[in-house]
Every structure is written in C-alpha cells, then in structure tokens.
Amino acid sequence: MIPGWVLAALIAAAAQTGRNAAQARLTAAIGTVGATQVRFLFGLPFATLFLGLVALATGEELSLPGVRALAFTFMGALAQIGATALMLKVMQARSFAVTTAWLKTEPVIVALAAALLLRDPLSWPMLMAIAVATVGVIVTSVKPGVAAGQFADLRPMISGLAAAGLFGLSAIGFRGGITGLGEGGFLIRATTILVISLTLQSALLALWMVIFDRAALAGSLRVWRASLGAGFLGAFASQFWFIGFSLTSAANVRTLALVEVIMAQAVSYFVFGQKTNARMVAGMAVIMLGVGMLLWLQA
C-alpha cells in the first residue's frame, strides 16, 4: 500500500508542473511580478473553499493557531516570497537549467535544517538518498561546457543557493505550523495552515504591488480567467504539499518532489516536442535511484 505522504507529494508535483506552465504563459501577458502573485492572490479563494469542504467532510472544528504555529507559518510565508524573488533575479542573470540545479539543492538543506529546528529524524542512509537524488537533478539540469563558466561567478551562485535555502526554510516553516496546531486531524491542520499562509502572502504582495507596481496587479485582474486557472492549480498543489508535510518530515516530501524534474521533461518532450538527450536520461535515472532509496528506507 502506498503511504499517504508519497501519494500526496506525487499529486502535488504533477499539479505544480501544470501551475508552472500556466504561470509561464501569464508571464508574457502581465510580467513576472504579476504572474508570481497569481499563485497567492488567486489561490486563496480555492484554499478557503478546500478548508470549508474539509471541515464539512470531517465534522471537525477549526482550531485557532497558537504563537508557535503562527510564528512558523509566518516564517514559511515570508521565506517563500523571498525565495521566489531571488529565483527570478537569478534567472535573469543565468540560464534556467543552471538556476534549477542550484535550487534543487533544497532537499539537503531541508533535511539538515529540519533535523535541527523540528527534531525531524535524519539518518546517514536517508541523507545519502537525498544527496543521490539531488545529484541526479544537477546532472539533468547542467549542460557540460556551459556550467563551468556560469558557476565561476559566485554572486548568482550565492543568490541561487540562498533561494534554495529560503525554499527549504518555507517547507520547514509550513511543517512547523502544521505540527504546531495541537488539535484536529492531519487534513484539517494542513488546510488551515495553507489558508493562513496564503492570506499572509496575498496581503503582503497586494500591499507591495499597490505601492510599487499597480500595473502588474491590474494586469492580473484583467486576465482573471487565466489567473484563476493558475491560482487553482497553485492552491491544489499546495494543498497536497501541506498534506505531505503533515504526514512526514519536510525532507522526505521535498526529496520525492524531485520527480517534478522528470514530469517537466515529459511535458517538454510530449507537449512541446523538445528532445531528451542521454545526459538527461542518466540524470533522471539517478533521481529515481535516490527517490527509490528514500522510499525503501521509509518502508
């Protein structure tokens, strides 16, 4: 029987692949900032709907978060916004492939930080599995001959690793928020923290855009149908990420999330007709080896 967190992470990765494609199309219409905030502002109504459906289906009452849960959730929300901003900045200076390689060091950072902050279990075999899967992503993402020159400039690399660290910190924050809710089943706790985090992120970004970039905010409202689609996929993906965080350590979830790289390659091949070379196939095989090791250890 497939563990619940594995199924949740796989569904989240698939939904996130679709959301990324939707946001890519929106970027051309409303700009990078406008497309980025869509996942928060237009995802919030769907997350609120999910919470209502969960409460109705389970019959559980919503539990008010305490100081610990709010603090971790606020940390996760801010870290996710900061990570996204850094990621976009690095992508302007370096290729998408190299930026992806830097960002996908996240599971290692998550594993180490979660062991320190949340006391999540971490053994040497687990760390080895996470490292193997991460190496697979780097092999898949970095082109030989191009990476050497791009890795030579430390500033983009530091920014990319900082973005990975912030993405990892957001995962730890969200898991800390979920475990900080003392009452309720895993489903209602995960959805409650999702709504709180999206509310915080939507408010902060809306305030920033009203002050500094009203055109991007107006643009996202102008293409509201496409924005709603991307917002739904973002909320749907986040719902299952948070379910995963409620069932196991953030490191397990974010390592399994590396299968998203393989899903993205499949979309590139079957939808966009982009070829997959031997290096990408080898990298994907290493990813699956690392993920397989992790699942075997968890079993």
How far is the C-alpha of 78 from the C-alpha of 74, rounded, in Å? 6
219 to 1, 43, 222: CA distances (angstroms) = 46, 16, 5
pLDDT given at position 42? 92
Tokens for 34, please give them: 């406008």
CB 18 within 8 A of CB 231: no
pLDDT given at position 94? 58
> Which portions of the chain are predicted below pLDDT 70?
24, 88, 91-104, 140-157, 264, 267-269, 271-276, 298-299
**Domain of 153, in residue numbers:** 4-298
Tokens for 281, please give them: 């196939």
Q: Which residues touch 43 (CB under 8 Å, ≥6 apart)? A: 198, 231, 232, 234, 235, 238
Neighbours of 185 (CB within 10 A): 11
DSSP state of 271: T
- Three-state secondary structure of 88-119: HHHHHHCCHHHHHHHHCCHHHHHHHHHHHHCC
Which residue has 């075997």 as its token pair? 296
pLDDT given at position 237? 92
- Three-state secondary structure of 182-212: CCCCHHHHHHHHHHHHHHHHHHHHHHHHHHH
pLDDT given at position 53? 96
Tokens for 55, please give them: 């409460």
Q: Which residues touch 275 (CB under 8 Å, ≥6 apart)? A: 269
Count of domains forming the chain: 1
Neighbours of 266 (CB within 10 A): 13
Q: What are phi and psi of 153, to 5 degrees?
A: -85, 115
Q: What is the pLDDT of residues 120-175, one digit of tens each?
A: 777 888 888 888 877 877 776 666 655 445 545 556 667 777 888 898 899 999 99
